[in-house]
Amino acid sequence: MNKRSALKTLAATSIAAASLLATSAFAQANTPVKFILDWRFEGPSALFLSPIAKGYFKDAKLDVSLDAGTGSGAAVQRVATGTYDMGFADMAALMEFHANNPDAPNKPVAVMMVYNNTPAAVLTLKKNGISKPADLVGKKLGAPVFDAGRRAFPIFQKANGVGAVNWVTMDPPLRETMLARGDVDAITGFSFTSLLNLEARNVKTEDIVVMPYSAFGVKLYGNAIIASPKLIKENPAAVKAFLAAFTKGAKEVMAKPEAAMDSVKARDGIINVALEERRLKLAIDSVINSADARTEGFGQINPGRMSLMASQVSDAFNTKSRVKVDDVWNGSFLPSKAELNILPAVKK
């Protein structure tokens, strides 16, 4: 072989080797997944931030980027537009989007239930003389127009035979303030958020009345992990891997909530760690490790209960079309029941 031929052979070999390495690196590259929360970085977001910090998603060959949200409705819309691949949103908001946008090309689907019960609640102060749903008749209730509790209030109203109430609209930061200073008689909101917000406004815990929807005949599901149909179609393995990694992280967060606060603090350095740890524990006890969740299993649903919710949302939200459970729920990517057995034992 002459010198020129040898050089050609060497060059060809180098190109082939480089091509092989590039192909191998591409094959091994982690799948990017853009994820949006329903709200800002608070205690419950540790369920997602902790497995990211511990590298569980990377171990599953996923490159997960996570952003704070501005409400469940916005999270659903941003996954629908393709801005995000997956998200965390209230099941009622997802149902409403489906029923009001029947021709939308990219309607997100719920793939894992996290808040087995809605955190929605009515909160008031003892001095207002409201101790049961019937006492709300004719009272001034305050909440943002997009609040999950306000949207679902007609369901609570019907279940408890509550007559007409008067709604006062405000921005989220003013909700608890207006209740504390007497501008409204009661508010709707997530129980573990509004309770702590009232305490932060110097309202004593013993002076607050909380009426969780789930304790008053309303068995709505709460927040679920949702996924884009595009991601489901093009990379179902990524959806399955995400849920497995999330489940692993969620088990550890529920076992030791205090240890998960570092991951939240890392994303929002000004949070009150003690307050957010308490918020996380309240969320775990009230809507994640609830009696209904222990009966149905973490991440899973009861088809009959979901069907009832679909009907209730269609009626209460006056949607353009009826909600169809098969359109909004796909449980085929869930880990096995054994792997989903992560709920902590109830302390007696």
In a domain, 25, yes or no: no
Same domain, 34 and 79: yes
For residue 320, the model assigns a pLDDT of 96
In a domain, 346, yes or no: no
Same domain, 244 and 98: yes
Same domain, 233 and 137: no
In a domain, 310, yes or no: yes
> Has residue 302 got a pLDDT over 90?
yes
Q: What contacts 24+ positions apart, CB below 8 Å, involve 260-265?
A: 260/46, 260/47, 260/49, 260/50, 261/43, 261/46, 262/53, 263/46, 263/49, 263/50, 263/52, 263/53, 264/41, 264/42, 264/43, 264/45, 264/46, 264/49
pLDDT band at 347 (very low <50, low <70, confident <90, very high): confident
- Which of 249, 218, 255, 227 minimizes the C-alpha distance to 52? 249
Count other Cβ atoms within 10 Å, centred on residue 268: 14
Same domain, 324 and 237: yes
Segment 34-48 mean pLDDT: 97
Same domain, 139 and 88: no
Instruction: Show the CA angle centred on residue 156, arms to residues 184 and 137, nearest 5°.
Output: 45
pLDDT, tens only, 57-100: 999 999 999 999 999 999 999 999 999 999 999 999 999 999 99
> Has residue 333 got a pLDDT over 60?
yes
Residue 85: give its domain's CATH number: 3.40.190.10
In a domain, 299, yes or no: yes
- Which of 107, 36, 3, 62 minimizes the C-alpha distance to 243? 62
> Has residue 222 got a pLDDT over 90?
yes
- Work out the percent of the chain whose per-residue pLDDT is above 70: 92
For residue 279, the model assigns a pLDDT of 96
For residue 2, the model assigns a pLDDT of 57
pLDDT, tens only, 158-194: 999 999 999 999 999 999 999 999 999 999 999 999 9
For residue 254, the model assigns a pLDDT of 98
Can you read off the two tokens belonging to residue 64?
Answer: 């997960």
For residue 83, the model assigns a pLDDT of 98
Q: What is the amino acid identity at position 199? A: E
Segment 18-26 mean pLDDT: 46
Domain carrying residue 163: 120-215
Q: What is the pTM of this model?
A: 0.90
> Has residue 107 got a pLDDT over 60?
yes
| Number of structural domains found in the chain | 2
> Has residue 25 got a pLDDT over 50?
no
Same domain, 154 and 200: yes
pLDDT band at 346 (very low <50, low <70, confident <90, very high): confident
> Has residue 7 got a pLDDT over 50?
no
> Of residues 16 and 274, which shows the higher confidence score?
274
pLDDT, tens only, 239-282: 999 999 999 999 999 999 999 999 999 999 999 999 999 999 99
Same domain, 47 and 159: no
% helix, strand, coil for the chain, step of 5: 50, 15, 35
In the predicted model, what is the mean pLDDT of the chain? 93
